[in-house]
Amino acid sequence: EGEAGCAGAGAGGAAPEGGLEAASLEAARLEALPGVGELYIRGASTFEGYHGKEHLTAQAYDEGGWLKTGYVCSWAPSGELHILGKRNDFLHPAGGRLVSAQRLEAIYAHRCPLVHQIWVTCEPRGPLVAVAALDAEAVFRWLQAEGLDLRSSDEHAPRITAALLQQLREVAAACRLEPCEEVSDVHVVKSLGQSDDDYRQLATPTFVLRRGHLRRRYDSELRALEIRRAATTSGGAPGGAG
């Protein structure tokens, strides 16, 4: 297994004798690389549908009767099926390939000193951006190192955000991430977890990020990042805090 969960789990090949007709990778639906996509299955081992909830059944199956598993997979040269992760955890940034959001979040959270929690996202084929909660102790040490007033960290928010973005870029370079996996801009928040009532819906009790909730909560901030990024293409320091 690669660094920070880079590799996927092997699931073996399709097993018609077990009731599954075949394993189909609907790569075109994800606009992904050939041989990589969401796993669709069909056979006697799949369920017929949700009782009394036809709309959910329609969402679970395609028109050909294939069940959408919600897992992104790839075929190995040996014919084995490798599970890469859940579809909702994958992004399609500029660069033309799928990337695992969980993998990138693990790398940035473990290797970037200023980061306590981080969520990465992007529009399809757009640049990667992040919403991050800072590590209070790391911020304190950074202020000390910069010779700044420790009692007025809010006044230094733009400089802290710029330092955070620089750290994220350094981590991307050190880990040899692809250009599409590099965070282009970041919005700073107090928390992405359970410690603040205002953010209680953004993560589960086990601190698994609720990506749909996060996107709805920070929609305006993400749009502001896009506007700011467009305005600073000719120079300037991107980044925001809130």
- Residue 153, pLDDT score: 72
Q: How many of the other CB atoms lie within 10 Å of CB of 41?
A: 18
E-only strand ranges, 88-135:
90-91, 99-100, 115-121, 129-134
Please state, for a pLDDT cut of 70, what percent of the chain lies above it.
74
- Tell me the β-bridge partners of 189: 133
pTM of the model: 0.70
Tell how strand 67-75 and strand 81-86 pair up: antiparallel
Angle at 41 (CA atoms; ends 37, 45), nearest 5 degrees: 150
pLDDT: which is higher, 195 or 172: 172
Instruction: For residue 211, give every residue at least 6 positions away whose Cβ sits within 8 Å of its Cβ, in sequence order, or none.
Output: 88, 89, 101, 119, 121
pLDDT: which is higher, 73 or 161: 161
**Mean pLDDT of the residues in the chain:** 78
pLDDT band at 208 (very low <50, low <70, confident <90, very high): low
pLDDT band at 43 (very low <50, low <70, confident <90, very high): confident
Which of 126-140, 194-208, 217-231 is the least confident region? Answer: 194-208
pLDDT band at 167 (very low <50, low <70, confident <90, very high): very high
pLDDT at 144 over 80: yes
- Residue 17, pLDDT score: 44
CA distance 47 to 60: 10
- Residue 206, pLDDT score: 55
- Residue 202, pLDDT score: 63
CB 152 within 8 A of CB 158: no
pLDDT band at 242 (very low <50, low <70, confident <90, very high): low
Would the CA dihedral through 11, 13, 14, 19 be positive or negative? negative
Tell how strand 90-91 and strand 81-86 pair up: unpaired
